[in-house]
């Protein structure tokens, strides 16, 4: 049964993940939380691992979630499921529907979905940050260490663009934050 | 060399050496498939990128499927897509088996507590970049802000509403507005 859930869950992710890698993160978060597969904390860890290893982030996340729930078979099913919709859609467009994307009704639908997913990604990013900074959002209990670390890391990340030409890469930020975590949570 | 094996190996190499996904891969795919192997032209590469942006799924997968199909039909598409996915599949599967025991080591757990904070910043940054590139027209902006506020409330109060539902609502609203506008346009033209 878990394999069937993995299949359906990640087909949905693959079918609605507009807007590249980060577009898939809110959808994957939805699916894994609603089935209770992994929690927010493990998800954040795995996003960092996916960002620091080769390959598309949403494929990496699917492989991880599948493997954590149902071993190798689960990893295989989840990975295939997340890839399948885009595979089929590209084939269909090449074989049958070359002009589909230019259809004004299709364009109107896409024009609605794209800004929507941008809003969803923005909400997910802000919610994740809030979640770390307040141990409980409803009771507004503050986690001072996390707030200070968030502020410093954000300053380093966004500030680096003024100093370096391309700024700090995501992997660079993950590296710095790992060192900061070891120092702050291990020694302070 | 058999073209299927060539497709598989070429995309396996791309899959193994691109970190972070998305646009980093396009440069690499362009370099191997358009310049070295001449499987597709630069123009076609541009077209795939545009199509990839309007279809769901990882851009790298879309490109692999496109190039593979063009070279050798369905079998080629499968070979290229499988090659693209295989390296990261093996790496992540290996990590997933070990991650839990890694996290029991204190300093690695501390490192991940720091990393957790970085991930929030990265997602926020991705959203900001997309907003900067977005069309600054009233309708997309309104949809974006409504989706943002609704999703934030859903997250904070742990409501059981899927983000897919929000996307479908946005699609319906946008389609309805387009149809109303084009009807009004026709009525105006008839007069």
Residue A105, chain B, CB below 8 Å: the answer is: yes
A131 located within any domain: no
Closest residue of chain B to A136, computed from CA coordinates: B156
Q: pLDDT (tens digit, 0 to 9) for every residue of chain B, 191 residues total?
A: 699 999 999 999 888 877 655 666 777 788 888 888 889 887 787 777 777 777 888 888 888 999 999 999 999 999 999 999 999 899 999 988 888 888 888 888 888 888 888 888 888 887 888 888 888 889 889 999 999 999 899 888 888 888 888 888 998 999 999 999 888 877 766 65
What is the average pLDDT across A110-128?
Answer: 86
> What is d(CA A127, CA A136) in angstroms, rounded to the nearest whole number?
12
Domain ranges of chain B: 3-103, 127-190
The strand pairing partners of B23, in sequence order, are none
Beta carbons of A127 and B152 less than 8 Å apart: yes
- Which member of B112, B116, B175 has the closest CB to residue A109? B175
Q: Note the pLDDT of residue B80.
A: 95
DSSP chain A: -HHHHHHHHHHHHHHH--SHHHHHHHHHHHHHHHHTSS-HHHHHHHHHHHHHSBS-HHHHHHHHHHHHHHHHHHHHHHHHHHHHHHHHHHHHHHHT-TTGGG-HHHHHHHHHHHHHHHHHHHHHHHHHHHHHHEEETTTTEE-HHHHHHHHHHHHHHHHHHHHSSS---HHHHHHHHHHHHHHHHHH-
**CB within 8 Å: B55 and A91:** no
Interchain CB contacts (distance < 8 Å): A and B = 354
Pairing of the two strands A134-136 and A141-142: antiparallel
Q: How many domains does chain A have?
A: 1
Query: Are B115 and A91 an interchain contact pair (Cβ–Cβ within 8 Å)?
Result: no
Q: What is the pLDDT of residue A140?
A: 67
Contacts of A45 (CB under 8 A, 6+ apart): B99, B103, B112, B115, B116
Within a domain: residue A147? no
Report how far Cα B45 is from the mean position of its chain's Cα atoms: 16
What six digits make up the tokens of A138?
């409803």
Does the pLDDT at position A64 exceed 90?
Answer: yes
Across A102-122, average pLDDT: 85
Q: Which two tokens stand for residue B72?
A: 């050798």
Domain-located, residue A171: no
Q: Quick check: is A164 in a domain?
A: no
**How do residues A2-46 score in pLDDT, each as one tens digit?**
999 999 999 999 998 887 777 788 889 889 988 999 988 888 888
The answer to whether the Cβ–Cβ distance between A125 and B110 falls below 8 Å is no
Question: Which A-chain residues 2-61 have CB contacts (< 8 A) with chain B?
Answer: 12, 14-22, 24-27, 30, 34, 41, 44-60
Using the beta-carbon criterion (under 8 Å), do B127 and A122 form an inter-chain contact?
yes
Put simply, the answer to whether A90 touches B62 (Cβ < 8 Å) is: yes
Q: Is residue A126 part of a domain?
A: no
Q: How far off is chain B from A139, nearest CA to CA, in Å?
A: 11
Domain residues for the domain of A10 are 2-101
Does A110 map to a domain? Answer: no
Backbone angles phi, psi at B45, to 5 degrees: -60, -45
Residue B131: what pLDDT?
87
Chain A stretch 56-85, residues whose beta carbon is closer than 8 A to a beta carbon of chain B: 56-60, 63-64, 67-68, 72, 75, 79, 82-83, 85
- Interval A124-179: pLDDT, tens: 889 888 888 887 666 667 788 888 989 999 999 988 888 887 778 777 888 898 89
Query: pLDDT band for position A97 (50/70/90)?
Result: low
d(CA B61, CA B52): 9
Residues of A with Cβ-Cβ distance to B156 under 8 angstroms: 127, 130, 137-138
Task: Report the residue of chain B nearest A74, measured CA to CA.
Answer: B93
User: What are the tens digits of pLDDT across the range A66-80?
Assistant: 999 999 999 999 999
């Amino acid at each position: 049964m878990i394999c069937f859930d993995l299949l359906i869950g990640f087909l949905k992710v693959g079918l609605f993940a507009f807007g590249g890698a980060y577009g898939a993160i809110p959808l994957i978060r939805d699916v894994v939380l609603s089935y209770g597969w992994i929690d927010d904390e493990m998800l954040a860890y795995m996003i960092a691992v996916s960002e620091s290893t080769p390959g598309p982030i949403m494929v990496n996340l699917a492989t991880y979630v599948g493997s954590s729930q149902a071993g190798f078979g689960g990893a295989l099913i989840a990975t295939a499921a997340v890839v399948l919709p885009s595979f089929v859609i590209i084939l269909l467009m090449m074989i049958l529907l070359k002009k589909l994307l230019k259809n004004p009704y299709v364009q109107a639908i896409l024009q609605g979905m794209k800004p929507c997913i941008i809003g969803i990604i923005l909400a997910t990013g802000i919610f994740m940050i809030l979640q770390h900074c307040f141990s409980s959002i409803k009771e507004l209990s503050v986690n001072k260490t996390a707030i200070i670390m968030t502020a410093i890391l954000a300053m380093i990340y966004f500030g680096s663009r003024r100093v370096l030409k391309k700024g700090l890469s995501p992997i660079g930020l993950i590296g710095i934050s790992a060192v900061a975590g070891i120092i702050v949570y291990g020694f302070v | 060399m058999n073209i299927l094996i060539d497709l598989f190996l070429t995309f396996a190499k791309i899959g193994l050496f691109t970190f972070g996904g998305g646009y980093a891969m396009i440069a690499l795919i362009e370099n191997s498939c358009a310049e070295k192997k001449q499987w597709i032209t630069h123009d076609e590469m541009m077209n795939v990128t545009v199509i990839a942006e309007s279809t769901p799924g990882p851009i790298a997968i879309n490109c692999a499927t496109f190039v593979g199909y063009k070279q050798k039909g369905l079998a080629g598409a499968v070979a290229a897509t499988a090659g693209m996915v295989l390296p990261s599949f093996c790496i992540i599967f290996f990590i997933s088996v070990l991650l839990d025991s890694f996290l029991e080591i204190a300093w690695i757990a501390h490192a991940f507590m720091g990393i957790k904070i970085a991930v929030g910043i990265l997602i926020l940054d991705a959203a900001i970049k997309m907003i900067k590139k977005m069309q600054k027209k009233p309708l997309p902006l309104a949809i974006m802000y409504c989706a943002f506020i609704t999703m934030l409330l859903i997250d904070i109060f742990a409501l059981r509403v899927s983000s897919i539902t929000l996307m479908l609502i946005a699609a319906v609203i946008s389609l309805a507005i387009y149809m109303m506008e084009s009807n009004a346009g026709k009525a105006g033209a008839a007069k």
